[in-house]
Structure 1
Amino acid sequence: MTAGSAVPHRPIVVGVEGSETDETTVAWATNEAVRRQTSLQLVHAQALPSWFGRNHRLTDEAKEYADARVAELLEQARAYVNAREPAMVTESHHEFGAVASVLSNAAREASLVVVGASPTPEQKHTPLRSVAGHVAAHAPCPVVVAHDPGDGPGSGDIIVGVDGSRASEAAVAFACEETVYRGIGVAAVLAWEPTVSGWPVLPDAPEAQRDLAADALAGAVARWQDRYPTVPLEQRLVQGPPVRALLDLAPHASLLVVGSHGHGWFPGLLLGSVSNALIRHAPVTVAVVRGSGH
C-alpha cells in the first residue's frame, strides 16, 4: 500500500490521548492496519468545562490554545506511524466533546476503534480505558483496548469467550478473521457454573448441565468452523465464573475477544459484565465485538 493508493477497507480509528500509552496504542493499530491493508485515523477528543460555554472569549482562547497543542500531539503520533510504516495512509481528527461520544461517532465509518489501556485513573489526562466500556457498548464496530504493540511472535492463541448470544457469535467470527491475518489458532471458551433452580429447562444434575454446555459451545462455533476450515479452532469448556476463566487464560493469549453484551444460554452468562471486567483487569489486549441487531 502506498500513501497515494486507494484504501479498500474502512480505516482503523485510533484514540490518541497524549499519554505514555499512546505509543502502544498507535503501534497496535499500525500493525493491524498493515495486516488488514487499510488506513489509520488518529482521533483526539477534548472536553471543555461546562462553565466555559458562558464566556465566549474564554472558550475561543481555550480552543485556540488546544488546537495548537493537539496539532503537535497528532503530528507526533503520525510521525511515529510513519517511522514504523512509511507508506501508511493516515488522517487526523480533533474534536471538542466527550471522549466516548467523539470516538463512538468516529466508529461509524471505521472497521475498528483502538484505545489505550491507561494504567491508572489518577493521571491528569483522561484515561481512555475509563471510556472504553462506553465506546464498546455503542460503537458499531469492534473496539480494541491495546496492552501491547501487537507485533510479537504471536505464539499464543486468540481466546474468544462464548455464551450463546449474538454478540458472542460475532466475537467468534472476529477471532477467526484475526487468525487468518495472524496465522495462529483460536480457542473458544465457554465458562459455566452448575445451577439449581427454577429453570425447568435445565436438569439439576451438574453432569447433565455440563453436557448441555458442551453442546452449546459446539453449536456456537460450528458455523465458523465451516466458514474458516483452515483455522485451528479449539473448544474449551471451563467450570467457573466467566471473568475468572478468561483472566486465567489471558496470560497465554495473544488477544482476548468477547461480545459487548448479550444474554447467554445459561443463567449468569452476561458478556457485557465480562467485557467490562476484562477491559479493567485483563493483562493482554482485549477486543470487544457487538452482535448484529445491537
Structure 2
Amino acid sequence: MSGLVVVGVDGSASSLAAVEAAAREARWRGAGLRVVHAFLWPAMHVPLGPAPLGPPEGGLRDMVEGLVAEAVARARSTAPGVDVSHAVVTGEALTVLEAQSRAADLVVVGSRGMGGFVGLLIGSTAVHLAAHGGCPVLVVREGGDEKGPVVVGVDGSAAGEQAIEFAFAEAALRGAPLKAIHAWTLWNTPPAEIHEGADTYVDPPSGLAEAEELLVSEALAGRREQYPGVSVEPRALRSQTREALIAASRSAQLLVVGARGRGGFAGLVLGSVSQAVLHHAHCPVAVVRGAAERS
C-alpha cells in the first residue's frame, strides 16, 4: 500500500496530537507523511528575521522552523518506519491545506489551533476542509477509546457509500470492530405510501423499523466479503441521528460520517449532522465526501 497523509501543524498541543494520529495513519496505510505549516506572515510583508535588539534566533522564520522540526520529530518517534517530509507554504491555512488535500489520501488536523490557525477552534479549518477538501479529513478530538470500535453513520444515500467504504478500511487497518449505526424517526424516513396525499404513514413504526434495518443491511452488502476480518455490528435505532452518533462516540476510537446525507440541502457546505459531530463527538471524527461532492 502507498499514498500520502498530510497533517497541518501550528505549534499547538492540538496539532501535535494530530501529528501523532497522522503518523499512525501513515504507518497503518504504508503511506508517506507530510507535515505542513501555513506561513501567513510573508504574504502580509511582515519582517521574518529577528528584531534588531532581540536574540538572533527570535524571528518568525526561526520560530516556524522550530515548530515544524518539533512536529517532524514527534512523527518520527511515533512511527519510526514512516517516511516523513515537511513543507512550509506561504498562505492562509485553509487555502494551503485545501490545496494539499488534492494530492493526499487523508488530511489530519487538530480540533484547536493557534498561529496559522488563529481563532479557528473547531469551526473554520475542519468544516472548510470537510466541505471542500479533495480527500477525507480526520479531526483529532480529545477522548476516544483506543480499544473501542470504529463507528460509521449509515443513511442509505449514494453520498454515504464512500463513508462506509472508508470506515471498513479504517477498521481493517486498526484491527477494530465496526459498528454501523442508522438512526431514523418518523420525520426523517420517507413514507413508502401515503393515503390520498395525507401526511401520514401507512406502515406502523414496527414496519418502518424493519425497513430501516433492511436499509442498513443493503448499505453494508458486499463489503463484508471485501473485509472478511472486520467484525460488523449493524444497528438501526429510532433516534435523532446526531444524538445517536454522539452517544456512540463515547466508546468509539473513531467516528466516520459523510459530508452530507439523505435529506441534505444541496446549498449547505456541510450537513448539519457532520457539523454537530465535529463539535460534540467524544472521539476523533473523519468526514468523507462523496465522489459527486468532490467533483
**TM-score w.r.t. structure 2 length?**
0.82
Offset at 1:88? Answer: 2.5
Q: Provide the rounded CA distance (Å) in 2 between the counterparts of 1:217 and 1:146.
A: 27
Q: Give the letter aligned to residue 192 of structure 1.
A: W
Q: CA deviation at 1:200?
A: 6.1
Which stretch of structure 1 is more off in the superposition, 18-27 or 40-49? 40-49
Paired residues of 1:161 and 1:190 also in contact (CA < 8 A): yes
Q: Which secondary structure does the structure 1 equivalent of 2:13 belong to? A: coil
- 1:12 is aligned, of 1, 5, 13, to 5
- 1:172 and 2:164 are equivalent in the alignment: yes
Tell me, yes or no, if the aligned pair for 1:13 and 1:113 is still in contact at 8 Å: yes
Once residues 248 and 78 of structure 2 are traced to their aligned partners in structure 1, the CA distance between those partners, rounded to angstroms, is: 31
2:142–2:282 Cα contact (<8 Å) kept: no
Match of 1:157 among 149, 164, 178: 149
CA–CA distance in 2 between the matches of 1:61 and 1:249?
49
Q: Does 1:109 align with 2:103?
A: yes
1:121-136 pair list within 5 angstroms: 125-127=118-120, 129-130=122-123, 131-136=125-130
Change (3 A) 1:260 1:84: same
8 A contact 2:159–2:292 mirrored in 1: no
Aligned counterparts of 1:149 and 1:24: Cα–Cα separation in 2 = 12
Q: Distance in 2 between matches of 1:287 and 1:60?
A: 35
Displacement of 1:128 in angstroms is 5.6
Structure 2 stretches of 5 or more lacking a match?
Answer: 51-58, 195-200
Deviation at 1:81, TM superposition (A): 1.6
Offset of residue 49 of structure 1: 10
CA deviation string 1:164-194 (max 9, x = no partner)? 1223211111111112111121111000111
Q: Return closer, same or farther for 1:63/1:158 CA change in 2, 3 Å cut-off.
A: farther
Aligned to 1:4: none
Paired position in structure 1 for 2:91: 97
Which one of 112, 116, 119 corresponds to residue 118 of structure 1?
112
How do 1:16-31 residues align onto structure 2 when only pairs under 5 Å count? 16-31=9-24
Instruction: State the partner residue of 2:47.
Output: 61
Q: Report the equivalent of 1:209.
A: 208
Q: What is the distance in 2 between the residues matched to 1:118 and 1:174?
A: 24
Q: Indicate yes or no: 2:77 matched with 1:83.
A: yes
RMSD over aligned Cα atoms: 2.9
How far is 1:10 from its partner? 2.0
Contact 1:24 1:149 in 2 (8 A): no
Count of aligned positions: 272
Q: 1:60–1:223: structure 2 CA closer, same or farther, 3 Å change rule?
A: same
**Tell me, what secondary structure is at the counterpart of 1:92?**
strand
Question: Alpha carbons of 1:40 and 1:196: their partners in 2 closer, same or farther (altered >3 Å)?
Answer: closer
Unaligned runs of 5+ in 1: 1-7, 53-58
In structure 2, the residue corresponding to 1:277 is in which secondary structure? helix
Aligned residue identity for 1:95: V
Identity %: 34
Say whether 1:193 aligns with 2:192: no
Q: What is the SS of the residue equivalent to 2:163?
A: helix
- CA 1:17–1:226 in 2, change beyond 3 Å: closer, same or farther? same
Kindly indicate whether residue 37 of structure 2 is the aligned counterpart of residue 38 of structure 1: no
Quote how far apart the aligned CAs of 1:157 are.
0.9
Change (3 A) 1:184 1:198: closer
Point out the more displaced range, 270-279 or 186-195: 270-279
Q: Show the 5 A alignment for 1:187-266.
A: 187-195=179-187, 201=193, 203-204=201-202, 205-264=204-263
Whole-Å Cα distance in 2 between the matches of residues 111 and 282 of structure 1?
Answer: 23
In structure 2, the CA distance between the partners of 1:163 and 1:187, relative to structure 1 (3 Å rule), is same
